Amino acid sequence: MQAMLHPGCAVRYRLLIFAYVIMLDHLHLLTNQPKTSAEVLRYLKGITARRTIDYLRQNNFQSSLAKLQHESWKRDHKYSLWQQEKSVFSIYSGNVHAESKLPPPKPSKGRVG
């Protein structure tokens, strides 16, 4: 499997993206996660929002920009591409069983294969 290293995060995050799925209202990423999930989410939301809004401005998509416009709520941002909630879930971490409240997997008693 070949991973993508986004040029913008090559120096700062070293984030490798192995796979992604874009859904209607969310996305799934498989990454090496060199930082916390919250840091990765913050970076990805920022870079995608900036690039999308810049593209819409450069190509004069005023109706699309109007849909993203809101009252300034933080740092004088005029547009919001993403919702303000920070729902991120790591499917693997050292504490995945504690987070999910599932019992730890039982070791295999026999040989596989």
CA torsion angle 68 73 74 80 (round to 10): -10
Residues whose CB falls within 8 Å of the CB of residue 33, separated by 6 or more in sequence, listed in order: 15, 40, 90
Q: What is the pLDDT of residue 1?
A: 46
Does the pTM exceed 0.85? no
Written as tens digits, the pLDDT of the chain (113 aa) is 455 555 666 556 677 778 888 888 777 877 776 677 777 778 888 888 888 999 999 999 999 999 888 766 566 678 888 777 666 666 665 554 444 444 555 665 655 54
Residues whose CB falls within 8 Å of the CB of residue 104, separated by 6 or more in sequence, listed in order: 97
Q: What is the pLDDT of residue 53?
A: 92
Reading the block at residue 106, the tokens are 């039982």
Q: What is the pLDDT of residue 57?
A: 94
Instruction: Report phi then psi at 107, rounded to 5.
Output: -65, 150
Angle at 18 between CA 48 and CA 81, to 5 degrees: 15
